[in-house]
Amino acid sequence: MAESETGMSAIPVASIEGAIEFIFTPQSSNVTGGKKVGGIDQVIELTLNQLWLTVVALAIALAVALPIGLYLGHRHKWESFAISFGTAGRGIPELILIAFFAAAIGVGFRNVVLALAILGIPPILANAFVGINQVDRSSVDAARGMGMSELEILRKVEIPLAIPTLMGGLRSATIAVVATATIAPYGGYETLGDFIINENVYGENGVLAGAILVALLAVTLELTLAGVQRLLTSPGLKLRPA
């Protein structure tokens, strides 16, 4: 078996069966000498780690970005900033961000979560802005004229009408955060990505298993959020025009 510089096989020998076996049964590993790797327990542990990381990071991002985005959108201020911010946020190189935080601040959950939160803020802010900004002005006008306070307008008129866009922002953020949580091991926190990036520990089957698991996790989260979005969207918005 030819070996490349990093110790991974050039001829892939991973197989679906091998990957599935890896997920459920602990395997012996070349590197950690004796201690078994893989198996359903470790899978669950790392999955939960990744989920927890994602949820906390998103919570922080929401707490920071949502109020700002909603406010700016409601006041129709700083449009170019909000939109460019969203686009620019997608240009943040995740790997370098994680590595930098690890190097500069330290490793571990706390620091990784911060890096992830930073990644989640731009899409949430930008979408919150766009969603609220684009709400039909006549609806807002009518609400104001009827005596609603600014906060009430936001709560009862603008946010419900902006749900699709707001949720879109959350979903974008989730995709970015889950993707980066995958490489959280570089920041010292173990997630499913561990299986993928450490082939010499987990073997090719482990790598494939990791990739499959991460993909499944991401898609599941996305579908869940899509479902939540449908639930939250008022039926009036879902109607197709006559």
Q: Which residues bind another protein (CB under 8 A)?
A: 4-8, 10, 12, 14-15, 31, 87-88, 90-97, 99-100, 102-104, 107, 175, 178-180, 182-183, 185-186, 188, 190, 193-194, 196-198, 200-201, 207-208, 210-212, 214-215, 218-219, 222
- Residue closer to another protein, measured from CB, 157 or 191: 191
Cβ atoms of 207 and 38 within 8 Å: the answer is no
Residues 6+ apart with CB under 8 A from 34: 28
- Residue closer to another protein, measured from CB, 61 or 157: 61
- Residue closer to another protein, measured from CB, 15 or 139: 15
Tell me the residue ranges of DSSP E strands in the chain: 26-27, 37-38
Q: How far apart are CA 144 and CA 150, in angstroms?
A: 8
Shortest spacing between CB 229 and another protein, in angstroms: 13
User: Where do the H-state alpha helices sit in 183-198?
Assistant: 193-197
Shortest spacing between CB 14 and another protein, in angstroms: 6
Shortest spacing between CB 2 and another protein, in angstroms: 12
State how far the alpha carbon of 90 is from the alpha carbons of 84, 120, 127, 219, in Å.
Answer: 10, 9, 13, 20
